[in-house]
Amino acid sequence: MQRRRGRRRTRLRERYERRLFEILRELSIPLVILHFTLAAGTLGYMVLSGGDFINSFYMTVITIGTIGFGEVVQGADTMAGRIFTTFLALGGVGVFTSTITVIARVIFKEELQHLWRRLSMMNAIDKLEGHYILAGFDEVTAELARLLERRKVPFVVLDDTQEGLARIAELRLPYYLPEAPFEQETLLAAGIRRAEGMVVNLGDDARNISIIAVARLLRPEPEEFAIYSFASSPDDAERLEELGANRAFYPGRMVAGRLAAYLFHPESSYLQGLFDRLAFGEETDVDLLEVRVEEGHPWAGRRVGELRRELRVNVVALRMPNGRLDLDLDDDHEVRPGCALILFGRAERLEKLRERLEVERELP
Amino acid sequence: MSSRKLLTDFFVLMALTTNVSFVVFPNGVELFVTVVTNLAATLLKMGEGRVLSAELMATGLVADLHLIPALYFFYAGNPAEAVSLAWGALAANVVSVLLVVIDTVLKSYMEEE
């Protein structure tokens, strides 16, 4: 039994709910005291009135609630009744006001509101599918979050640092968990089993490695769940890829490469910028799409001109099986199996095409 | 021995015994005392870190939701309906007491482990 208990991990939701009830527990004793005061008052007036429950309860409430409409129950205007009312009012008013104070203090407690918000956010995360997980939230990941938002791609942010949480609050992100990202329960709560991929940026390689290891235990297939990680050096990037990341990036090299592209093509800065923005997902109106044409694919053996007219997108290039890019495509060019078509066109048209191809691929 | 557990268990048992006494001899004061003890038991169960705390809370709420309408029916002149509702609450209270016993056994077993 002990072994089983040791193996079982507490789910994040359970932990939040337990804490929520622990806070609500503070209400228990004041409410019990108020309850017994009301019961004693009602019972006393019931004895005085000969069993009139409704009026006795009403009389007790207006007495301890300092409303005092008068003696509305039989027997309350007698000597015994007035003595009883006096003691009930003296004790009851204190109990009533202190209970109200405790209730207000607990309800307006910041932690209770945070827990409530987190639980409702977790309910919303449970409904997400095909989303991305952003582990760690610095300036770079914040910029990535903006790009994903612009593309309407859902994502969940995991960060428990003060700076990260401040940035999350500033951007008013819809889904985030302020928990340690490398914990298994945090990744499960972020819906890792239904997610499309994860971006790891925890600041240092040791933490990046630990989250990649945990994530790969939960989602071992790199084709089904992509992990992209940041690395502090080109060597560490290689190591992270060996440990399970699909791709690891050394940010310095990426920025330098992008800058170099501008420096080497100063005369075509607009086009350079356009392809750059397409590659980095910043351009929302137009997009690029690569479609592999295997044996049996409906496009195999078709002419480029036919596809251009039918799909209403530009076939800009064909990537040959040997990796060579064929850019001299006239309308009569035949699409052979094994090639990949590079399509360029309106983003929404390409998106519809991508969905259509996915449906066709799933058909038997 | 925990004083909080003693208090809660006392009211859980008391809720059952007063419920039985109302069912056997229906009268207003008995019903009132039953409601008071049941509500006290439920309030004390709130946020208790027991193994079966959710189940205990649920049975307590079931008993309350039978007894509060029973109190209304009794004073509205329909004691037969009140007694039938109190029977329902009695079933919930029996389950509640059984759960308290199971919970205590489970907890001591887990502590031993």
Summary mean pLDDT of chain B: 91
Fold of B3-112: Four Helix Bundle (Hemerythrin (Met), subunit A) (1.20.120)
**Whole-angstrom distance, CA of residue A143 vs CA of residue A15:** 32
How do residues A134-150 score in pLDDT, each as one tens digit?
999 988 899 889 888 88
- Best of B36, B42, B55, B107 to disrupt the A interface (most A CBs within 10 Å) is B36
Q: What is the ipTM of this complex?
A: 0.85
Q: Which of A57-71, A116-130, A179-193, A254-268 has the lowest mean pLDDT?
A: A254-268
Q: Is B39 on the interface with A (CB under 8 A)?
A: yes
Per domain, the residue ranges of chain B are 3-112
**For B37, which residue in chain A has the nearest alpha carbon?**
A36
Which one of A1, A26, A54 has the shortest CB-CB distance to B75? A54
pLDDT of residue A5: 43
Q: Which CATH class is domain A128-249?
A: alpha beta
Model confidence at A82, pLDDT cuts 50, 70, 90, reads: very high
pLDDT > 90 fraction of chain A, expressed in percent and rounded: 33
Which residues does residue A326 pair with via DSSP β-bridges, in sequence order?
Answer: A318
Nearest alpha carbon to residue A312 among A285, A277, A348: A348
Which one of A5, A35, A53 has the shortest CB-CB distance to B43? A35
pLDDT > 70 fraction of chain A, expressed in percent and rounded: 91
Fold of A8-110: Helix Hairpins (1.10.287)
pTM of the model: 0.67
pLDDT of residue A279: 65
Q: If you average pLDDT over residues A242-246, what whole number do you get?
A: 89
**Whole-angstrom distance, CA of residue B65 vs CA of residue A167:** 46
How do residues A265-313 score in pLDDT, each as one tens digit?
766 666 666 766 666 666 567 788 888 888 888 888 888 888 888 888 8
3-class secondary-structure state, position B86: helix
pLDDT of residue A32: 92
Give the CATH H-level superfamily of domain A285-362.
Regulator of K+ conductance, C-terminal domain (3.30.70.1450)
C-alpha distances out from residue A48 to A66, A84, A93, A308, B103, Å? 21, 10, 21, 94, 42
- Whether residue A361 is predicted with pLDDT greater than 70 in this model: the reply is no
Per domain, the residue ranges of chain A are 8-110, 128-249, 285-362
